[in-house]
Structure 1
């Protein structure tokens, strides 16, 4: 396939707000050993992209500083040692960086086939959220059928994914969201109960709903004062899984409930992990989640789509928290 010498990509002109986003022309990246070059159709916009833009979440050593953690598109070149993928294959992939561009390098082990019911645009909204949710809710949080899950930020890309996957696993799902409309959105995805955190105290609601038992797993991206409140509503042997901090990561908490109720406090970040560790998640998704995507039982929910040159507007929407579901950049139709 004919590949041009240059492409358009987004770069941040220093650390700051959306005003530092710039569109530039750059050489096409080259795939290394075990990598492929993807002609990008679409890329997901995620909160870690905004954190990187603000100077708080740098790419791993050796990775490009072009933002973007998930893409979909068509493979146009393969590096040495690639055996399972061919030029012309349509894939979606988790990437360490580089997604906000017309071409992006991805590791073979992290590329997954586009599920049949999904468009390329929708497929680009799968990797970052599905890798994150599966690893944290099911692997680290050990969610099982019959368990109760509390998802904070249920109307976000992560939250909407967690609700759907947990319901498919046979869990009872409670979600928090910031408006009646967002609560309706959570319920439309399968949440058994949606709690408007602006008008309701989620700890009181959880205690009432569970008859003081508490929930088995909590997926939290808020942090700050939510950490102690989360611990207070975990059931015996409950698991708190922390994946981000919209508020502070530093808090003072009483650990006595952790001991008395044998709680687990865990959490993770995805981007700094090795390709091998991410590949383990990819294989688990291929086995356990891709069949659900193929039959349409779960799917990414797209709230808004922007062209690459409107990446600033996409970031502004993300930081407004007005969205319900995923925000996407459509780079090639």
Structure 2
């Protein structure tokens, strides 16, 4: 089979494309013929060696995939040859990744693709949708009628949170950095979009809350969160979720935090068990079926362009530079 792989961590140029052995499957594994994979920031961190992880060199990067079942292990009960399936969590903890024509996946870490979703949509939404659904349900239990605020509603996770929260009956406030991105946020359901570059943003937010009630759920995506700024906007017993900022050190007034019964919740998708991810994957499929979830795709490249895809993702993630909006998809 053909695959993208590295023989040592480092720059995107370390990614090679060529022949690799076909994967074998164990009794609970499924052999997937890959139709599409997505590029995520964590893929670039692992490839660069910025996240300490034992890698099986040569190593194939990639967490997300969508494809067709080609073979199954003799104990597999959930899938049959010809089924369409999607998933994430590949390329981690000693496993080879998804940037290949064929991959071996344990049946507990994959999910059926509903008829309403394409391979590209399923792959593009894998990691970001599981992250969004875990934060909204497993960790924070968003309820109908609550008000949710998320920084960056046009981003990879942000755009999914906006759509899911609206589908769950929330009033959604978000931010964007341009008129084009603001229009996109409104098109996917945001009730209020504020320009985070506007020095009057906090005043505009407060004016809206004065008329509509405070925020129950603040989803923070910034790499350097400002919790002190957040607290005054929060309703009693509100939840603040953080999912970014590995190097950030928070400083905020403890009194206003605890006397309002607030909760600060940090989580990483990869800590969720197979059972927890199966549960939210069912919810994600329901959103697809109901037409309530569309994943923005900005680039569709060939698998042989994996090095270029990593370059583009790094510039977008680390430097904020991109001439496209949405996920990068690779197809064999």
Q: Same fold (TM over 0.5)?
A: yes
Matched-pair contact (CA < 8 Å) for 1:43–1:70 = yes
**d(CA) in 2 for partners of 1:317, 1:180:** 23
**d(CA) in 2 for partners of 1:241, 1:161:** 15
Query: Does residue 27 of structure 2 align to residue 33 of structure 1?
Result: yes
TM-score, with length taken from structure 2: 0.88
Question: Which residue in the other structure is 2:5 paired with?
Answer: 10
Matched-pair contact (CA < 8 Å) for 1:95–1:106 = no
Q: CA deviation at 1:305?
A: 0.9
Matched-pair contact (CA < 8 Å) for 2:10–2:48 = yes
Q: CA deviation at 1:267?
A: 1.6
**d(CA) in 2 for partners of 1:55, 1:130:** 25
Q: Which runs of 5+ in 1 are unaligned?
A: 1-5
Query: Does residue 236 of structure 2 align to residue 241 of structure 1?
Result: no
Query: Does residue 329 of structure 2 align to residue 328 of structure 1?
Result: yes
Deviates more, 1:110-119 or 1:81-90: 110-119
Question: Which residue in the other structure is 1:279 paired with?
Answer: 275
Question: Which residue in the other structure is 1:111 paired with?
Answer: 110
Matched-pair contact (CA < 8 Å) for 1:203–1:230 = no
Q: 1:327 to 1:202 in 2, by over 3 A?
A: farther
Matched-pair contact (CA < 8 Å) for 2:150–2:221 = no
Deviates more, 1:159-168 or 1:123-132: 123-132
Deviations 1:159-217 (A, max 9, x none): 11111111011101111222221111111111111122122454333222111853111
**d(CA) in 1 for partners of 2:207, 2:169:** 21
Matched pairs, number: 320
Mapping 1:293-332, distance limit 5 Å = 293-318=288-313, 319-320=315-316, 321=320, 322=322, 323-331=324-332
Deviates more, 1:205-214 or 1:261-270: 205-214
Matched-pair contact (CA < 8 Å) for 1:60–1:272 = no
SS at match of 1:160: helix
Q: 1:54 to 1:152 in 2, by over 3 A?
A: farther
Question: Which residue in the other structure is 2:192 paired with?
Answer: 193
Q: 1:315 to 1:208 in 2, by over 3 A?
A: farther
Question: Which residue in the other structure is 2:131 paired with?
Answer: 132
Query: Does residue 156 of structure 2 align to residue 157 of structure 1?
Result: yes
Q: 1:63 to 1:36 in 2, by over 3 A?
A: farther
After TM superposition, what 4+ stretches of structure 1 lie above 6 angstroms from structure 2? 60-64
Q: CA deviation at 1:125?
A: 1.4
TM-score, with length taken from structure 1: 0.87
SS at match of 1:300: coil
SS at match of 1:312: helix
Matched-pair contact (CA < 8 Å) for 1:223–1:242 = no
Question: Which residue in the other structure is 1:91 paired with?
Answer: 85
**d(CA) in 1 for partners of 2:58, 2:163:** 33
Mapping 1:163-312, distance limit 5 Å = 163-200=162-199, 202-211=201-210, 213-245=213-245, 248-273=247-272, 277-286=273-282, 288-312=283-307
Q: CA deviation at 1:59?
A: 5.1
Matched-pair contact (CA < 8 Å) for 1:94–1:106 = no
SS at match of 1:56: coil
Q: CA deviation at 1:272?
A: 4.4
Matched-pair contact (CA < 8 Å) for 1:150–1:215 = yes
Q: Which runs of 5+ in 2 are unaligned?
A: 92-96
